[in-house]
Every structure is written in C-alpha cells, then in structure tokens.
C-alpha cells in the first residue's frame, strides 16, 4: 500500500514592524517568487495574497518536510529577493514568527476566497486584529505583549 497525503496549510506572516513594504509594483513578482520557493520544497501554491504589511499563503506541503523549515526558507529567500529589488527603498525583513493553520480539503475554496479578498477585508480590520482572531479561532494560547515586534521593543 502506498502513502497518500493532502497537507494543506494557511500560512500568515508580516513584514518587520508591519511596515507597508510590499508595494503594488512588486507584489505579484514577490508572490511568484514565493510560489517558486514552495515548488522547490516539493509543495504547491494554491493561493497567495495579502496587503502591504503581510502575506497569506495557502499551500499543499510535502509530508517529508517540517512546516517550520519550509516557512523559514521561504521567508529567508524572499527577503533576499526583495532586498535585490531597486524598487524597495529600505532594507526588507519579515517579522519573526508566523502562523500556520491546517486546512481541510473541503475548505480550500473558502480560504482561497478569503485570501483573494484581502484588500477589501483590511479596509475594516488591521493585521493585528486579523492575526489574533486566527489564533483564537484555532485555540492557540498566546500573550498579546509577545505577539508582535515593534520598533521600540524589537
């Protein structure tokens, strides 16, 4: 008997200090680069989106790799890629940490729709509010004072 998996993750992470660093002129190319990074790790990108201060990724990942390793490599590689772009006027970094939530195959369409409508969603909700809601919805314990880096406290 063979081994079969369907390991889908909704991954969310922000820019350092949530600076609006993902400018529209480069956003699609960044997303393409991240998709290539996921494919290089034996995964497949299902959907990607976000706004200037964070990204949402819906991906099917290989069971042979740890989610933490995949996310670490995607963040590191895409940071280097962003810093090589002349359009970026300040050093680019992702914030430490990330959220990764499993997604049932039957929920993929609704998560895709959610990611595709980020611009609209964030007209009324900040990234911080959205992220806290994700953690609460998934029963993840956290301390708010340790959740986000800011420029004053790192």
pLDDT in tens, 21-56: 999 999 999 999 999 999 999 999 999 999 999 999
Does residue 154 form part of some domain?
no
Which of 37, 23, 36, 39 is CA-nearest to residue 85?
Answer: 23
CATH number of domain containing 40:
3.30.70.1290
Confidence (pTM): 0.94
Q: Which domain holds residue 28?
A: 8-146
Does residue 88 form part of some domain?
yes
Q: Give the tokens for residue 46.
A: 């299902």
Give how far Cα 63 sits from Cα of 43, 103, 153, Å.
Answer: 9, 15, 37
d(CA 151, CA 141): 24
Q: Give the tokens for residue 98.
A: 């990330």
Does residue 1 form part of some domain?
no
Q: Give pLDDT, residue 44.
A: 97
Does residue 151 form part of some domain?
no
| Arithmetic mean of pLDDT, 118-134 | 94
Does residue 153 form part of some domain?
no
CA distance between the termini of the chain: 50
Assess contact for 17 and 95: CB atoms under 8 A: yes
User: Pairing state of beta strands 44-51 and 8-14?
Assistant: unpaired
Does residue 2 form part of some domain?
no
Residue with token string 């949402």: 56
How many independent structural domains does the chain possess? Answer: 1
Does residue 152 form part of some domain?
no
Does residue 73 form part of some domain?
yes
Q: At what angle do helices 24-40 and 67-83 cross, to 10 degrees?
A: 140
| Arithmetic mean of pLDDT, 106-125 | 96
């Amino acid at each position: 008997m063979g081994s079969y998996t369907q390991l889908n993750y909704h991954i969310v992470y922000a820019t350092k200090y949530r600076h609006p660093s993902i400018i529209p002129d480069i956003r699609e190319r960044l997303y393409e680069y991240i998709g290539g990074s996921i494919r290089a790790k034996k995964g497949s990108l299902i959907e990607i989106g976000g706004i200037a201060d964070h990204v949402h990724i819906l991906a099917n990942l290989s069971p042979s790799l740890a989610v933490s390793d995949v996310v670490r490599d995607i963040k590191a590689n895409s940071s280097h890629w962003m810093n090589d772009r002349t359009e970026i006027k300040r050093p680019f970094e992702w914030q430490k940490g990330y959220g990764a939530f499993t997604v049932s195959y039957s929920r993929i369409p609704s998560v895709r729709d959610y990611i595709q409508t980020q611009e609209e969603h964030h007209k009324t909700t900040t990234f911080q509010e959205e992220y806290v809601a994700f953690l609460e919805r998934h029963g993840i314990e956290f301390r708010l004072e340790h959740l986000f880096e800011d420029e004053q406290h790192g």
